[in-house]
Structures are given as C-alpha cells and as structure tokens.
Structure 1
Amino acid sequence: MTTLMLKQENYAFVPLSATFVDEYMPAARGEYVKVYIMLVRYMQTGEIGVTTSFLSDTLGLLETDVLKALEYWHQKGLISMKTIDAAGNLSIQLNSQIESKGPAVPSAKTETAQEYSDGMLMEIESMMGRPLSTREMDTFLSFKSEYSFPGEVVMLLVQHCLNRGVSDLRYMEKVAINWHSLGINTVALAQSNIRKHEDKWSNYRKVLTYLGMKEAEIMKPQEDLLDKWFNTYSFSTEMILKACDISFNNLGKGELKYIDAILRSWNEENIKTPEEVDSRKKPPKAKGKPGRKDTSDFTEREYDYSELEKKLLGRE
C-alpha cells in the first residue's frame, strides 16, 4: 500500500479543464479518468493524503491499476509525482496548466481516428502489461501514418516482438521498417511473414542458445553467417553444433569466425554428417616405417588444432 501526499487546492467544484475533457479524457482508459477525477476531488476537500488501497476500494479498481493511472497522468504532464521516502510513498501535485494538443473540440473524423488509435494503444498496453510512454504511443501511431499499417498489423508486430522476448522500442522500429520494405501492410501478409520467420529461426535459436546468445542481440553480419550455414551450405543443426563444440574445445568459447571457417572447410570437402567428421578425426594407422606420419590424411592436417586456429582466424 502506498500513501499519496496531496497538495491542497481551494476549489468549490471539481475543476476539469476543457482541454482535459476535449483532448486527454477521450484517449485515456476509463479507470485512469476515474483516478484523475478522484485525485482532483480529494485535493479540493483539503485531504492531505490518501492511500492507493483506499482509492482502489472506492473506485472498484485493482491497486496496480491505480498506480498505472498515476504513472499515465504523470507521463502526460497532468500531475507531478515523485517518491518521498524509502517506503515508496509519493507526493502528488496537480498541474493546473494543461497544454493543449490541438483544436479544443475535435472533428468527427478526428474522434473516429482517436477512438481507433486508442483501442490499438490499449491493446498494446495490455500486451506489455504497463502504460505506454508518450514516445511509445507516438511511435506506434507513426507506424500507421508513415507505413500505412492497419492497427491490427501494428498489434501483430508488437506481439511478434514480445513473443521473441524483445520489448525494446528501437527493435520494434527496425521490424516495422523491415516489414514496410517488404510491402507487408495487411494482417494476412504479416501472419505469413511471422510464420516464415518462426520456421527459419526455430533452428537458428538452437545454435544461438548453444552459444549463449540471444536472437535480439545479433547483428546483420551474424545473421548472414547463420543464413550461410543453414541455407548456402545446407548443414543440419547437428553439424553446426558439432563445429561449435570444436570451437569450445579449442578456444574455450564459441567464436563465430572460427566456426564459420570449420564449416567452410567441411563444405569444401563435402563433409555433411557428424559421422564423416568423426571418421576423419580417427584415421586408420598408416602403413610403413614405425613412427611415420601419414601427412596425406585430411583430418590430421585439418585437426592440427594450433595450426588450424592460426589459419582459420588469419593469424599466420
């Protein structure tokens, strides 16, 4: 439970500005509006403090919804909120000057767009489990205005990123740019792209997980390596993990450049199965004089590890 210390205001009525009613209230969730009006009311009556628990009981809301509402109005600039002690209690002050965002009375066309956008933003807030910041709202709305994405496509994009464990706004912007470049502007095209991506990355993730990497962390050159290993060389996941094991054994880490060189050499020698790798590593004993080394054997040359490391990493 959090106590809110309220700065008193001497009002004879519950003061709601025309700007709040015209511009802020239509875009806000109903429970957020209830919390704002109740705060104004308690400030008017001279209350010096009220708990989030009391507000939630009075308004029939969850206490977490009350806190979300406070954060929402703080981000919108309608209240000033700051933590005042280690217990997490807050000082709340109503900002009497509310900045107008446009015409005082929106047109019917603007209202329709506002309602549609609000529904989309509310769904995204539900997906993310928290109120959206002003920048996040502006960014998601820009996907519609700049890329002509319907609201459903924007929501699919956000859900797709969240399913991959990524909630970073910059990453979502990159996905939006990529979708736009591919001409993805309908729900059907978005769903098809997501299915293709999941089919492709299901194996990619196995390799990245094995290497201790996350999908969201890799850059385009690293993705290109994965494309080459799986598609150009047509190696199985098992073969790529085999190369990863060699890198771990020899270098103590999964070095992508080193793994790429191993796979390139296997591709050149047409080695396609782990059994073929193992057979090269364990050649039959050479015939001839005792102590003679069969230098023609591929594996002995390939798996002279100190030399391999120098050559494959360009350190000669």
Structure 2
Amino acid sequence: MGLLSIQDKRLAGVTLLPDDFIDYYMPRANGEFVKIYLYLLRCTHLRDADPSLSSLADVFSCTEKDIVRALRYWEKAGLLSLKFHGRERELERVELLPISSSLHATQQDPGPEIDPYAPDGSSGKAAGSEQIADAASQNTSREKTAKPKPSVMQISSGRMKQIHQDEVVKQILFVTQAYIGHPLSTTDMRRILYFYDELHFPADLIDYLVEYCVSRGGRSLDYIEKVGLAWNDEGLTTLAAAREYNAVSRNNYYTIFKAFGIRSRSPIPDEIATMQHWMNEYGFDLKLIGEAASRTVKQTGKPSFPYAERILSDWHKAGVHTLEDVARLDEEHQNRRKQAPSGNAGAAVGDRQNKKPAGDATKFNENFHQRDYDFQQLEQELLRQQQRPGEE
C-alpha cells in the first residue's frame, strides 16, 4: 500500500492567539495596543511581509509615534523584543517572544507610557519625565517593602477549573451575582475568586465586600476590586476588622459631609475616594478638612469637592499640618496684599489706562473708563454761549 499524502487546509487564513494573552495581557492593555499586537501576529503568516512604521500607521490611521508607543508597551510586558540602530534610534527589527517564557510579566504592571523616540525607552519632556521618575522611585520602594502585585487581579483559567466545584466557591459566586444583578462572565468569576484563592479572604468577607460596594452604588468589578485591594493593604482580612474599619470611615465621611452642609444623602464612590485621598495621602485630620469645606461653602455658596481639593492641595504643598499653619499662611497672604499697593502706587497711576483694576474690582469697573474733561475750557465755552444773545 502506498503512502498517503495528508494536507491540512483548516488553518488557512487563521491567526492563532495564545490563551495566556487573552487571560493575562489583553484585559489591562489599551485597545489600540491590542489591535497592533494582533496585526503583528497576522503579519508573521504573510509572505514577503515586511511592514514599516509608516505602513502600520496607515493601517490604523494613527501616527508612527503611536505605533512605536504600542510596541514599547508590549516590549515592557515581555512579549516583544525591539532593536533600534543609529543615533536617530530608528526601529530596525521586531521579534515576537513566546508568552510561555514571559509569564513573569503578569506579575508586574507595564507602567506608564513612555516617549517611544527617547533613548532606551526613557521619557522625553513632552511625555512627562517627572511621571516616569516618580513611577521608578515608587517601584524601587515597593520592591523593598512589599511583594509585587500582579497587574491582572484574577486567577488563571487552570486554577478556575480546579476550584469551580468547591461549595464555598459556588456560594461566593452566587452571592456576588445576586448583589451585582447580572450574570458573571468567566473573567468576572476569576477576578472575584482572586480574593479567595490568592489573598485568602474568607467567604463572609468577600460577601461583605460586594455588599458594601453595591450599597454605595459601585456595581462594577473595577470598583469592587479597588476597594478589596485597599482593604488588603490595610490588613483587613476578617469580617469583624472590615466592619470596624468601615464604621470609623463612615463616621469620618459624615463628619466631612456635615462640614459641607450635606445632610440629606450618603457619599457616592467618587466622593469617598476623594475623602480617602485627603485623609490617607495628604494626611489631613478632620479639623483641617472641615476648615477647607467651610471656606469652600463661603466662597462658592455650595459644597464643591473640586474647590475644596484645590484648597487642600495648596495646603499640602505648603506643608500645612495644623490649623495654626493655616492661620500663619492667611497672615502672610494678608501682609503681601497690604504691601503690594504701597510699593507699586506710582506705577499703578501711570499705567491706569493700560492695566485692569485690582483683584477686588467689579466687572463694571473693568469695563467703565472715566472721561477726562477740561473743566476750565468747558466753563469758558459756557460763558461764550451766554454772551452771544446780548451781542446780537
């Protein structure tokens, strides 16, 4: 019997995409970056495919800089290797790396976007070099003080298959779905079970986490994840600890609301995040925040969180820690206002026609210009008019 010739035509026109890319990398990447990566996979199966930056930019209707920014992102995630040459740092080669050898990248965040044309991926001025420096310093301190957090807060699909029949897991998913009000996708399930399997939250704490977030209007998995990770950072690993922490926080929120004059409603998630920012990152106590809230209402006539944020941000930059520091800043401000007019009085008179009035001038004063009459000439004109009847 002769040999059989077997041909497989099923994969014609098909681009294979690794499951690990879908599970770990795609959920947190920019959509445009994902499209560019998928197109690179497609190009590996094209004959004589040798795309340039300009041709890729034409395909996606973007700039070459946008293409290189996406390539830099995937390079930092461990999926690409880029080679540049020359002083102009021209891109010469793109090498796709196997995901199996770069799964360590799922344990770190690719970080902020960088200037694609800066040497060695460093940031230029336009891309925000200070932001890159801050991120680098934060990463260094984090490595010294804490374990790195995975960029994708979810368990793997393999681990999901192992534990999905566990009765506790079923109960967690059932309660979560009931609170959220819609069926959970596979990705949603893996994100919820991350708290159970990776952070070792007990089932009752996860139930309380979801209930807490939904009661404050946050039904999205992103919000639930953010609150849960914040609890983990605070060391809240039991239901009792979480309840006590939230009770104290709730009292603080309503104290701040009272300073704003808000009594008829509960804080929404954005307001809670802002108040936590004031207390945790700025380190302000309730007295300082209450003073900022009081000044906000006096100036704007309404409880404006953005206005209060500007006040507290200025205080934070000025190193304010107590109400006495605030009083000192107020006194310095008043002294500057008193000294400014006396020192510039002569210049103010000479430039009155070319400058706007001082800060407390009204719109009427800004738009009204006094007429400069020669009263002696007007008086002579009036006398001449009175003498004319007699002369006739």
- Give your verdict on TM over 0.5: no
* TM bracket, shorter-chain basis: 0.3 to 0.5
Larger Rg: 2
State the TM-score, normalized to the length of structure 1.
Answer: 0.42
For CA contacts below 8 A with separation 6 or more, give which structure has more relative contact order: 1
